[in-house]
Amino acid sequence: MKRFGLGLGLISVIAVAVWTYHVNYRTRQAFDRISDLRSEMAAEAEAVQVLKVEWAWLNAPQRLKRLVKENNDQLGLVRLEPRRFSFVATVPFPPPEPLVPDPGVMIAQQLEKPDMAELVPSFSAPQPVARPRTQGLTQQVAWSGQ
């Protein structure tokens, strides 16, 4: 019994020792990872800072202006001036689309034209006669002229 207890104690001591060893190393690894991540974050933050400044430098108004000046033959930019403004209402609507005739109409166009000559009336209509301008009817003439 005594030997059994001793053995049990020994095993438990070994088990606890192994566990402690394990936890110890895991903790150390975790610390390593934290410091790695911290330095990584610091490096990233530094990169962000550098990139921010670089972005601002690349977009500095003077630099953009110089670039536009150099390349404006391709860009064709003009300055925003008072006369560049307008109202949407003044923009004309696009022209209507060309009318595509119905296929039936297309066919009808190709049919032979009837002889129009026989539709002309054979009598001659009386020509309209100008109303004689008289002194007494000036008012009426003025009115009909409207």
Partner 1 sequence: MTDLARSKTMGRKGIRPRDEWRVILMMLAFGVAYLVAGARMGVLALHEPEEPRIVRGDRGTDPVRGEILDRNGVLLAGNLPGWSLYADPHFVFDPEATAGQLFDILPSVPRERLTKLLTKDSRFVWIKRPITPRQRQAVLELGNPGLMFAAREVRVYPSGRLASHVLGGVKAENEGVNFAELVGNSGVELSENERLSDPSRSAEPLQLSIDSAAQMTMEEVLRAAVDYYGAKGAAGVLMDVRTGELLALASLPDFNPNLARKSFTGEAAYNPRFNRAAQGLYELGSTFKVLTTAMALELGLADPDTMLDTRTPVSYGRNRFRDHGRIRDQQSVTDVVVRSSNVGSIRLALAVGTKRFKDGLRKLGMFEAVPLELAEAQQARPRYPRNWTDLTTITASFGHGISVSPIHLAAAYATLANEGRRVTPTLIKGGNAPGEHVYSPRTSRQMMRILRQVVYRGTALRADIPGYELGGKTGTAEKFKPEGGYYHDRVISTFAGVFPTSKPRYVILVSLDEPTDPDSGKREASRTAVPVAGEVVRRVAPLLGVRPLTGAPAKRRYESIPVGLPAELDD
Binding map of partner 1 across residues 13-32, x = CB under 8 A, - = no contact: ---------------x----
C-alpha–C-alpha distance, residues 140 and 67, integer Å:
77
Q: How far apart are CB 15 and partner 1 at their closest, in Å?
A: 22
Residue 6 binds partner 1 (CB under 8 A): no
- Residue 100, CB-side half-sphere exposure with 13 Å CA sphere: 2
Question: Could you tell me which of 24, 20, 2 has the C-alpha nearest to residue 12?
Answer: 20
Pick one of 57, 93, 123, 143: the residue that binds partner 1 (CB under 8 A): 57
Cα separation, 34 vs 22, in Å, equals: 18
Smallest distance, partner 1 to C-beta of residue 49, A: 6
Write each residue from 68 to 97 as x if it is in contact with partner 1 (CB under 8 A), else as -, in one continuous string: -x---------xxxxxxxxx----------
Q: Which is nearer to partner 1, 31 or 141 (CB)?
A: 31
Contacts with partner 1: how many residues (CB under 8 A)?
30
The single-letter code of the amino acid at 22 is H
**Per CB under 8 A, does 61 bind partner 1?**
yes
The two three-digit tokens of residue 39, written as one number: 């330095």
Computed on alpha carbons and rounded to an integer, the radius of gyration of the chain in Å comes to 50
